[in-house]
Amino acid sequence: MSKAIQAVRGMNDLLPEVVERWQRIEAGARDVLHAYGYREIRLPILEKSELFARSIGSQTDIVEKEMYSFEDRHGENLTLRPEGTAGCVRAGIENGFLHNQIQRLWYAGPMFRHERPQKGRYRQFHQIGVEAFGIESADLDAELIFMCVRLWRALGFDGLTLQLNSLGTLECRAAYRRELVHYLETQRGKLDEDSLRRLDRNPLRILDSKNPAMQEIIAAAPDLFEHLDDASRAHFERLGDYLRQAGVAFTVNPRLVRGLDYYTRTVFEWTTDRLGAQSAVGAGGRYDGLVEQLGGRPTPAAGFAIGLERLAELLALQGGSHQGVRPHGYLVLLGEEAERQGLSLAERLRDAGLRIECNGGGGGLKTQLKRADRSGARHALLLGEDEVRNASITIKDLRDGAQRSIAQNELIDFLLGSNLKNKEDKATADERRR
Ligand code: ATP
Ligand code: MG
């Protein structure tokens, strides 16, 4: 046997059990997003590298060391997207759906960052992202946060913490940056290696250093809040009012700066204490300058992204069983004639809206019943020589083993009656029968 090939480091296979957990999150998210009038957009995974340098910022960790970039066969420099906002803005400008319009959009899919893989941190990971364009006021910022709150509630998560900050406009951030660098220069001897590297390139990032040795220096750093322009300050206070009014708890964290350059005014992050070091489950903020920066007309905007791997882990920790989609019946076929009739019987049942797994590849009664059990179906439907002769079918309830025989033409009603207690299933079945 030759050596088996393994997956790329940091890129995971999601097996069916895990996918079922993801689907629960995705379905919950879709309901919440639609409740707020957001519409799905689907965007390419590959973009021109320049897009990310111009939006996320050429001096950021993501662009400096985490991107999967390569030249294609024609020498064009391309990158596997590390996040979704840049591509969404690019698409908005290119398709002309941003200018003078209000757009509420969402997307979901894989993102790629060459980070050190560890629990909760992967090289291919998945986000649900939300972007809204054309609203400058803080009611939009509040709406984005309410959406998160509603999603956490739908998934049964409690104990998530909201941290909030304002970065002001690009101009007041630049003024603050000069003052911060001036202060940090006086502390140069005490800065760790990471901070020294960031000092010239991205000094604000030093503020969210996790190194305990840096905390004292950070605590004594000048306060970004004092540099906020009046309009940004009013915006932030307005948002605080909306949140208090809705009873949404938050902590103001003046050291929350986020790793992407495009943010202005509001930034926020949702964290949990249940996932260890990788504690952020979602983050976002306002990026009023980005559309113009990428060549569009000035358009205010804000958004957020949540990490599916981390949410799925939270859901798993929460326990409780969740059954994904299971077949209503497993068709056991015994003998040549049963096999011949079985395929078309299964089709008729599916026509009625039922989910049927049909035995494939033969096998004796015992083997087939074992497969039926493993399929998760509620009923095994046995078609053997006797049943073929009598146009009947034997139904075995796989939960209690009870067995009964009915006419084949009663089978659909029986299965619909016993399986479609679930409202949604019933609606689909009714639809098909009409
Ligand atoms: P972190 O501080 O954990 O590195 P981030 O600030 O880089 O997060 P964002 O770029 O804001 O994260 O992305 C939003 C969300 O996507 C994060 O809150 C997190 O849940 C998830 N996420 C980001 N990077 C990864 C990764 N490498 N693996 C898994 N999930 C990730
Ligand atoms: Mg990161």
User: In this predicted model, what pLDDT tens digit does every residue of 213-254 receive, in sequence order?
Assistant: 999 999 999 988 888 999 999 999 999 999 999 999 999 998
Average pLDDT over residues 110-126: 97
- Estimate to the nearest angstrom the gap between the alpha carbon of 13 and the chain centroid: 16
**Can you give the pLDDT at residue 270?**
98
Q: Cα(259) to centroid of ligand 2, in Å? A: 7
Please answer whether residues 147 and 130 qualify as being in contact, where contact means their C-beta atoms are separated by less than 8 angstroms.
Answer: yes
Rounded-to-integer distance, Cα 176 and Cα 288, Å? 19
Ligand 1 nearest atom to the CA of residue 305, by list position: 14
**Can you give the pLDDT at residue 430?**
56
Q: Cα(21) to centroid of ligand 1, in Å? A: 19
| Single-letter amino acid, residue 365 | L
Segment 325-346, tens digit of pLDDT: 899 999 999 999 999 999 999 9
Rounded-to-integer distance, Cα 86 and Cα 293, Å? 11
Please answer whether residues 133 and 246 qualify as being in contact, where contact means their C-beta atoms are separated by less than 8 angstroms.
Answer: no
The mean pLDDT value of the chain amounts to 93
DSSP summary character for residue 65: I
More confident residue, 418 or 192: 192
Strands 301-307 and 124-133 turn out to be antiparallel
Nearest partner of 217 among 206, 205, 201, 204, judged by Cα: 206
- Ligand 1, atom 23, lies closest to the CA of 307
Most confident of 127-136, 216-225, 422-431: 127-136
Ligand 1 nearest atom to the CA of residue 113, by list position: 27
Average pLDDT over residues 21-31: 95
Which H or E element spans position 302? strand 301-307
**Can you give the pLDDT at residue 63?**
92
Residue 83: C-alpha distances to residues 92, 98, 113, 429 (Å): 16, 19, 9, 40
**Can you give the pLDDT at residue 216?**
92
Average pLDDT over residues 371-389: 96
Q: Cα(230) to centroid of ligand 1, in Å? A: 31
Q: Cα(108) to centroid of ligand 1, in Å? A: 14
- Ligand 1, atom 24, lies closest to the CA of 121
Please answer whether residues 44 and 111 qualify as being in contact, where contact means their C-beta atoms are separated by less than 8 angstroms.
Answer: no
Please answer whether residues 149 and 157 qualify as being in contact, where contact means their C-beta atoms are separated by less than 8 angstroms.
Answer: no
Share of the chain above pLDDT 70, in %: 96
Ligand 1 neighbours by CB, cut-off 6 Å: 83, 113, 115, 121-122, 125, 127, 259, 278, 280-283, 305, 307, 309-310
Structure token digits, residue 201? 């390139």
Q: Where are the domains of the chain?
A: 16-169+229-317, 329-433
Q: Is pLDDT at 44 greater than 80 in this prediction?
A: yes
Q: How many CB atoms lie within 10 A of CB 400?
A: 7
Rounded-to-integer distance, Cα 371 and Cα 241, Å? 58
What CATH architecture is 329-433? 3-Layer(aba) Sandwich (3.40)
Q: Is pLDDT at 313 greater than 90 in this prediction?
A: yes
How many residues are recorded in the chain?
A: 434
Average pLDDT over residues 76-86: 98
Which H or E element spans position 284? strand 280-286
- Ligand 1, atom 18, lies closest to the CA of 282
What CATH architecture is 16-169+229-317? 2-Layer Sandwich (3.30)
- Ligand 1, atom 9, lies closest to the CA of 283
More confident residue, 315 or 428: 315
Please answer whether residues 129 and 304 qualify as being in contact, where contact means their C-beta atoms are separated by less than 8 angstroms.
Answer: yes
**Can you give the pLDDT at residue 429?**
55
Ligand 1 nearest atom to the CA of residue 280, by list position: 18
**Can you give the pLDDT at residue 262?**
87
Q: Cα(278) to centroid of ligand 2, in Å? A: 9
**Can you give the pLDDT at residue 209?**
85
Res. 421 pLDDT band, cuts 50 70 90: low
Same fold? 16-169+229-317, 329-433: no
Q: Is pLDDT at 433 greater than 70 in this prediction?
A: no
- Ligand 1, atom 21, lies closest to the CA of 307
Q: Is pLDDT at 431 greater than 70 in this prediction?
A: no
Res. 383 pLDDT band, cuts 50 70 90: very high
| Ranges 72-86, 152-166, 197-211, 381-395: which has the least confidence | 197-211
Binding residues: 83-85, 113, 127, 131, 258, 262-263
Q: Is pLDDT at 321 greater than 80 in this prediction?
A: no
List, in sequence order, every residue forming a beta bridge with 406; answer none if it has no partner: 393
Res. 422 pLDDT band, cuts 50 70 90: low
Give the three-state DSSP class for 408: helix
